Structure formats: structure tokens, C-alpha cells
Structure 1
């Protein structure tokens, strides 16, 4: 059985694309990423939210935004806040280590 993971940050430029790429190779996992800001590179959609089994948000503000904008689509997905600030570059080793530490336990 495949678990669908959705990673969300503000603009989908650094944190969530890093997470998507990092966990894409994990067995039994499908990944996607999107942003919640109006100018996100890949904006979050109802379809993505409905597709996800687990939604990882980087900050508490993302959880609030997600719950307000996608209330109808957020039926069964578990929402997990990772508390990872916007202080990292794409695929930065410190970000990768933090993601592995915080997301890994949900995938075992």
C-alpha cells in the first residue's frame, strides 16, 4: 500500500521541494509539494489535499492557512507541523538532516 505525502510551505521554493525530493525514493511512498502563498511556484489545490494521506506543513501558520482554505478537502489527511523555519536553502544538508529526523518517524 502506498502512502501519499504532501509537503507544504509558503512559496514551494525551498523547504517543501526539498522534502518532496528527499522522500520520493522511500519505498511505499508517493510525494508531492506545494505552497500556500498566492505567488507559490506550485500552488496548493483541493485535488492535492484530497490525494494526501499525510500533510506535512513547515510552520504553524501553514496549518492555519491550510485549514481555512481547504476545509472541505481536508477530510481524512493527518496534518503534521514540522516547525521548520524558512532559514534554509534548497537541499541544504542541515535542512535534509532536519527533515529526515522529523519526518522519518512517521514513515517507519
Structure 2
């Protein structure tokens, strides 16, 4: 299981915390504050995700 978990919206974070409270102990759950209104694999979304996630981890080009 990951130690670092990213979600796009606060409601996603809340749902995970409600559904998996024990699994999330000692995990960092990070909300990227990206509206979940993009199509799957949308180019714009991918760029936003890379940018936001790169603040926390190294992202390959």
C-alpha cells in the first residue's frame, strides 16, 4: 500500500477517510484541488496532475 495518496477533490478525500479509516493510518492523503470534471485521460487534466503532483514527488516527462 502507498504511503502517499493523491485525490482530486475534497469529497474524494472525505470518502476515502470514511470508507478506509484504518487503512489510511500513517498515510499522507493529499487533495490536489482539481475539479473532477474532465474526461478520462484528458490532455489538460494530465498536465494539471503532473504539475500538482510534482510538488510532492518527481514526475517523469
Q: Does 1:98 align with 2:61?
A: no
Q: Which aligned runs of 4 or more in structure 1 are off by greater than 2 angstroms?
A: none
TM-score by length of 1: 0.50
**TM-score, length of structure 2 as denominator length:** 0.83
Q: Which has the larger strand fraction?
A: 1
- In the alignment, structure 2 segments of 5+ residues that lack a partner are none
The 2-side partners of 1:64 and 1:92 are apart by 24
> What is the alpha-carbon distance in structure 1 between the residues aligned to residue 28 and residue 20 of structure 2?
13
Unaligned runs of 5+ in 1: 1-50
Q: CA deviation at 1:104?
A: 1.0
Q: Which has the higher contact order (CA 8 A, sep 6+)?
A: 2
2:31 pairs with 1:81: yes
- For residues 48 and 29 of structure 2, the distance between their equivalents in structure 1, rounded to whole angstroms, comes to 18
How many residues align? The count is 58
RMSD of aligned alpha carbons = 1.1
* 1:66 has 2:16 as partner: yes
